Amino acid sequence: MKKLLFFVLILSFNNLVAQNMSFRVWEIKVKDQAKGGLLQLFDDHFKDVEIKENGAILLEEYKVGAPRDMTHRIVFLNEIGRSGDMITNKSEAEKKLFWERVKNKIDKWGSTFSGRMLSWHPGDFSKFPSIHLWHIKLNNPMQFKNAHDKFVDSVGSYFDGKAIGFGTIDIGSPDGSSHWVGFAAEKYSLIKMHHDFDTKFAKLQQEWWETNGGVEISDDFSVLNLRTYQ
């Protein structure tokens, strides 16, 4: 039986990306004073679940720049083409009851969108739970991917343990973006990471800007990974 993981993602995402991973995001606005109750509901429900291989469910809280008046988001990771419910050992009645209880904690449902992961550097969200995310429009997606991968590969051990990703937004884009990119850091230390980009890796960052093919930012926000279940 797979165990509940608190604040940690122990997935071999290098292998997952090779197997064509997809994601689905539900944006939600949690009722005032309901955050703790929502976390407890998730912990109680997922403590003994069995999730399909190479799948995961993440609960994240919006921090700086929260889009569309949302407070949280639920992220489902799965292999492309794998159908059916991700949870294999809960009855339909149990799952229905769980989501009904979740709905009672939610003030408003926001956008739902899905896409794919094109590049992934695996990380440990227990140590690096803060994530800076951008929703973007690209002039040349392949050129951007090449520039992104080169930057990540060129900074040596700096990204060890930090999740770094790039991918598509294929269905239901809430802001007209076609892609996303994200960098994880220690809790509340995203500014330090950007400072390092501007100082330690200024030349590499400049090269990235000059070779990414052109990018327009639609959304710029951060989230805190609260829970990861697999």
The CATH number linked to 11 is 3.30.70.100
Distance of CA 167 to the CA centre of its chain: 11
Closest CA to 147 of 115, 111, 176, 181: 181
What is the rounded CA–CA span in Å between residue 19 and residue 13?
9
**How far is CA 168 from each of CA 84, 107, 159, 162, rounded to the nearest angstrom?**
22, 28, 22, 20
Domain that residue 159 falls in: 4-229
List of residues 6+ apart from 53 with CB closer than 8 A: none
Return per-residue pLDDT of the chain as tens, 230 residues: 444 333 334 444 444 454 588 999 999 999 999 999 999 999 999 888 888 777 889 999 999 999 999 999 999 988 887 766 777 788 889 989 999 999 999 999 999 999 999 998 888 888 999 999 999 999 999 999 999 999 999 998 999 999 999 999 999 999 999 999 999 999 989 999 999 999 999 999 999 999 999 999 999 999 999 998 88
Residues 151 and 212 sit within 8 Å (Cβ to Cβ): no
Residues 220 and 134 sit within 8 Å (Cβ to Cβ): yes
The helix (H) or strand (E) run that includes residue 128 is none
* 3-state secondary structure (DSSP) of residue 28: strand
What is the rounded CA–CA span in Å between residue 21 and residue 93?
28
Closest CA to 56 of 103, 102, 111, 9: 9
CA dihedral 45, 48, 52, 53 (to 10 degrees): 130
DSSP letter string, 71-97:
-EEEEEEEETT--S-SB-SS-HHHHHH
Give the pLDDT confidence score for residue 126 in this predicted structure. 87
- Give the bridge partners for 166, in sequence order: 119, 181
The number of distinct structural domains making up the chain is 1
